[in-house]
A and B are shown apart, each in its own frame.
Chain A
Amino acid sequence: SLDQLFKDLDENINNGQYKKAIRVCNKILGINNKDVEAFQCKVIACMQLGNYQEALDCFKTNPTQIESMRFEYAYCLYSIKKYQEALKEIEKSSKENRILELEAQIYYKLENPQKTLSIYESLLGKPGYADSVEFITNLCATYIEAN
């Protein structure tokens, strides 16, 4: 049953069995190709496996899902170094923290640390950032790159 497939999917995800999770997602999508949770889990599982092109390919048959997964879609574009396309997706997004984090990383890869710095300085005032070792490490790296 569909309930059982979702139980299996949840278990595979919790065990880090992402290839198995994708197979279960495909079963669910075979029953209903509009199932939002199964689609989202398939995309995220592909991303967790580092298969970013495969994740992007999921949207080819389901382009309407891009809107609800704009961050993930932009992240996949960033991961395959399509930085300008990723920035275009970010322009269409609400300015939530994770989108700003991604935008900052894209500008860092594009060797524009000044833009990264201005985004990071805006994030620094938000809860959780000032005491994140990873964030402060990135902030230091960006200061070094920006001289």
Chain B
Amino acid sequence: KPLFFDIAFNSCTFPSLESRK
């Protein structure tokens, strides 16, 4: 099987908490 990256996971990011701190 050729190498295949899970590139979608790179977009699983936390929201900014700057306005809540």
Contact = CB atoms under 8 A, between A and B. Distances in A.
Interface of A: 2-3, 6-7, 9-10, 13, 37, 40-41, 44-45, 47-48, 71-72, 75, 78, 97-98, 101-102, 105, 108, 132, 134-135, 137-138, 140-142, 144-145
The CB with the most chain B CB atoms within 10 A, among A41, A78, A98, A144, is that of A98
Nearest to B13: A44
A47 B3 CA distance: 22
Q: What band does the interface of chain B fall in when counting residues whose beta carbon is under 8 Å from A?
A: 10 to 19
Interface of B: 2-9, 11-15, 17, 20-21
A45 B14 CA distance: 8
